[in-house]
Chains A and B, each alone.
Chain A
Amino acid sequence: GNSVTQMEGPVTLSEEAFLTINCTYTATGYPSLFWYVQYPGEGLQLLLKATKADDKGSNKGFEATYRKETTSFHLEKGSVQVSDSAVYFCALLLSGTYKYIFGTGTRLKVLA
């Protein structure tokens, strides 16, 4: 079936460290891929998105590339800040539908 798998958290990093949060998916067709971020006490906010293979989504220093050959959409940031501490969700939108599937979320904690 269709699914999104994220790496288990929490991920704890020091400020200015490099971040990678892995996300792989299983889906029929050509889904659109998203990363959402949830700050404490808030709902999810769209961080970045990509709709076709080799597309790179980017926002606020975060990047992710749609890799169809490895069915992955890993989130990266070159230098994290304390303010990046949040829960990050990978999600897909099944092509030809309006059905979204979310991963379980990865909590990131950045220490000063």
Chain B
Amino acid sequence: EAGVTQSPTHLIKTRGQQATLRCSPISGHTSVYWYQQALGLGLQFLLWYDEGEERNRGNFPPRFSGRQFPNYSSELNVNALELEDSALYLCASSSLGQSAYNSPLHFGNGTRLTVT
């Protein structure tokens, strides 16, 4: 099966601009999670979407937003970029309705966002 795909692989923006990151989950997965992995830090939970709805949100400012489309793909938008937004943004998908044992998170390779 095709894995979770993210685009673009790399993204370079200047401070104050907007960035849009995209994620396609594994076929059949309805749930998409976004994480930020800054250098030297672990994974910080950003957003969780399921069935087109935002289900949970991490401790990030409102300029981090996103959406999930009817085909379950997802978009993460970061407005008014700041230097500290430079990080690897990881998307993961899972299939709710199954036990976690059968459906853990499946991650994409991430988008490396650099803000200059």
Chain A residues within CB distance 8 Å of chain B = 32, 34, 36, 41-46, 49, 51, 89, 93, 98-100, 102-105
Contact A46 B43 (CB under 8 A): no
Contact A104 B42 (CB under 8 A): yes
Contact A49 B108 (CB under 8 A): no
Return the chain B residue nearest A34 by Cβ.
Answer: B104
A49 to B92, CA, bound (A): 17
B56 interface contact, C-beta 8 A: yes
- Closest CB-CB distance, B112 to chain A, in whole Å? 9
Chain B contacts of A34 at CB under 8 A?
A: 104
- Closest CB-CB distance, B98 to chain A, in whole Å? 11
Choose among B31, B50, B94, B105 the residue with the greatest number of A CB atoms under 10 Å from its CB: B105
Contact B94 A98 (CB under 8 A): yes
Return the chain B residue nearest A46 by Cβ.
Answer: B104
Contact B101 A49 (CB under 8 A): yes
10 sampled A-B residue pairs with Cβ under 8 A? A36-B105, A41-B109, A44-B105, A46-B105, A49-B100, A98-B31, A98-B48, A98-B55, A102-B42, A104-B42
A43 to B90, CA, bound (A): 7
A41 to B106, CA, bound (A): 16
Q: A89-B43, A102-B43, A105-B42 are in contact. Are A51 and B100 (CB under 8 A)?
A: yes
Chain B contacts of A43 at CB under 8 A?
A: 4, 6, 90, 92, 107-110
A34 to B57, CA, bound (A): 22
B59 interface contact, C-beta 8 A: no
Chain B contacts of A100 at CB under 8 A?
A: 33, 45, 105
A100 to B103, CA, bound (A): 12
B2 interface contact, C-beta 8 A: no
Q: A34-B104, A49-B101, A98-B55 are in contact. Are A42 and B109 (CB under 8 A)?
A: yes
